[in-house]
Amino acid sequence: MEIQILLNNDRTKYSQIYEQLKQAILERKLVAHTKLASKRRLAEMLNISVITVQIAYEQLQSEGYCYTIERQGYFVSEIEDDWNYKIKEDIITRKDTHKPEQLINFKNGQVDAAVFPYKLWNRLYRRELIETNVNSATWQGEYLLREQIASYLQQARGLTCAPEQVYIFSGFQQQLINVCLFFNRTTIGMEEPGFIRAKSVFEQLQIPNQAIPLDEEGCCVPNVQMKLLYTTPAHQYPTGTIMSVTRRIELIQWALKQDAYIIEDDYDSEFRYKGAPIATLSHLDSSDRIIYFGTFSKTLIPSLRISYIVIPKSLRSDFEKFNTFHKSTVSKIDQLVVAKFIQEGHYSSHIAKMRTLYRNKRSCLIEAINKYLGEEYEVIGDASGLHIILQLPQRLNESIAIKLAKSIGVEIDAISPMYQFQKPSNQVIIGYGEPSMEKIQKGINLLASVWNNVKE
């Protein structure tokens, strides 16, 4: 049986021949041991080169759809009788005509990508895209980047560490998984409420975790035995509480007494708008009990996927042994670009610029809330970071607020998933990293148009 082959300009000709013959074989339109048209004959029929047909036939042969007999040509292979091939139907995504185009993105964890220094970054990238940088980075990360991170932390965060204590990872969850496995899945405490992605790591690794409550001074001192405590002292996520110095000292003393370690997630401390910068928990630690987590996702762009850990000196040797056979998951070139970006002074300038921008956005957001939503709504946790919590009036619960917002093209985040117990029903998270000030005002105005019409 001869199969008609139709060619178009959408893809390469050999791939079309291969696909159509493969489908005919799987559907048994070409039965086992049928001889395929010779390469020359098929080439003449399709008005293409013999080499194009040969490439298609060789691909079929390499995957077992046909075989050759010397001086006789190509023949269809025998496919198992019980193999039942069905053509996959094209999946057609139906357009929801009722869904509005997303106008405003108030989702948390976003940054203003419009002001990223792309030209400068591309120039640095081209400089590092050279033959000597083709190999992978060492598992710990490029020394130049670790050196620059150590220097930056000393100057900007008051954290003294050596480059040898810094380890580069491809994001928060990857480094948290590594640390949890290093501690042999021991019981870990986390703030209540706390970062949902941290909780998901503990659940996936089947690590027992204890919810540690918050008060006005931040994460409380645990009253149960545990080896690790995960906390966000500079800007508690999601409430925005800043941990007091007294509580920081109490936690360090607890860790020393319990032979425990504290994971300090310093995820967005660069953006503080009230008072002096908050020193790290590690800055107060003389007992070597703090594992410091940092990231470039908020200060640069999230798609870089570059984060880092500062490991206490006392754990360095064991941590190195634990990761002996690991390879770096972060591009060497990206690491070198970030290192040069810091080394040449661009990073500190960029942070200063972004701090001013986000301070203005925060002010714009609060003014818009006061103007359009009114006194019924309370802003919580606005001293730093890139999000606030908005306390809603009693007549408006979280799920209704989010549903109404979505109906007018405004995206906001729920806060209830951050809680394990006593979930609030009248709060939402509003991030202001991505939208312009014009969009912030427009978005809050839109929210007011639907939220303020909800009756008791």
pLDDT of residue 101: 61
pLDDT of residue 28: 85
Residues 54 and 201 in one domain: no
Residues 423 and 293 in one domain: no
> What's the number of domains the chain is made of?
3
Residues 282 and 136 in one domain: yes
For the cut 50, the answer to whether the pLDDT of residue 224 exceeds it is yes
In a domain, 456, yes or no: no
Residues 158 and 216 in one domain: yes
In a domain, 34, yes or no: yes
Residues 173 and 316 in one domain: yes
pLDDT of residue 171: 93
Going by pLDDT thresholds of 50, 70 and 90, the confidence category of residue 98 is: low
pLDDT of residue 100: 53
For residue 128, the enclosing domain spans 117-344
Query: Mean pLDDT across the stretch 218-237?
Result: 94
In a domain, 151, yes or no: yes
In a domain, 85, yes or no: no
Residues 294 and 388 in one domain: no
Residues 255 and 367 in one domain: no
Residues 141 and 70 in one domain: no
pLDDT, tens digit, 9 for 90 and up, residues 6-62:
888 878 999 999 999 998 888 888 988 999 999 999 999 899 999 999 999 999 999
Mean pLDDT score of the chain: 90
Of 327, 344, 361, the residue that ends a domain is: 344
Query: Mean pLDDT across the stretch 407-435?
Result: 93
Residues 284 and 339 in one domain: yes
| Least confident among 124-128, 397-401, 420-424 | 420-424
Give residue for tokens 């909780």.
199
Q: Give yes or no for a contact between 267 and 308, defined as CB atoms under 8 angstroms apart.
A: no
Going by pLDDT thresholds of 50, 70 and 90, the confidence category of residue 282 is: confident
pLDDT of residue 283: 85
Going by pLDDT thresholds of 50, 70 and 90, the confidence category of residue 97 is: very low
pLDDT of residue 128: 92
Query: What percentage of the chain exceeds 90 in pLDDT?
Result: 71
In a domain, 8, yes or no: no
CATH number at 47 reads 1.10.10.10
| Top-confidence range, 109-123, 130-144, 277-291 | 109-123
Going by pLDDT thresholds of 50, 70 and 90, the confidence category of residue 78 is: confident
Task: Please give the residue that has the higher pLDDT: either 125 or 82.
Answer: 125
Tokens matching residue 279: 């020193």
pLDDT of residue 82: 55
Going by pLDDT thresholds of 50, 70 and 90, the confidence category of residue 86 is: low
* Backbone φ, ψ for residue 230 (5° rounding): -100, 125
pTM, two decimals, is 0.79
Going by pLDDT thresholds of 50, 70 and 90, the confidence category of residue 384 is: confident
For the cut 90, the answer to whether the pLDDT of residue 218 exceeds it is yes
pLDDT of residue 92: 47
pLDDT, tens digit, 9 for 90 and up, residues 337-367:
999 999 999 999 999 999 999 999 999 999 9
Residues 339 and 413 in one domain: no
3-state secondary structure the chain: CCCCCCCCCCCCHHHHHHHHHHHHHHCCCCCCCCECCCHHHHHHHHCCCHHHHHHHHHHHHHCCCEEEECCCEEEECCCCCCCCCCCCCCCCCCCCCCCCCCCEECCCCCCCHHHCCHHHHHHHHHHHCCHHHCCCCCCCCCHHHHHHHHHHHHHHHCCCCCHHHEEEECCHHHHHHHHHHHCCCCCEEEEECCCHHHHHHHHHCCCCEEEEEEECCEECCCCCCCCEEEECCCCCCCCCCCCCHHHHHHHHHHHHHHCCEEEEECCCCCCECCCCCCCCCHHHCCCCCEEEEEECCCCCCHHHCCEEEECCHHHHHHHHHHCCCCCCCCCHHHHHHHHHHHHCCHHHHHHHHHHHHHHHHHHHHHHHHHHHHCCCCEEECCCECCEEEEECCCCCCHHHHHHHHHHCCEECEECHHHCCCCCCCCEEEEECCCCCHHHHHHHHHHHHHHHCCCCC
Query: Mean pLDDT across the stretch 85-110?
Result: 65
pLDDT of residue 119: 95
Residues 128 and 255 in one domain: yes
Residues 263 and 316 in one domain: yes
pLDDT of residue 192: 94
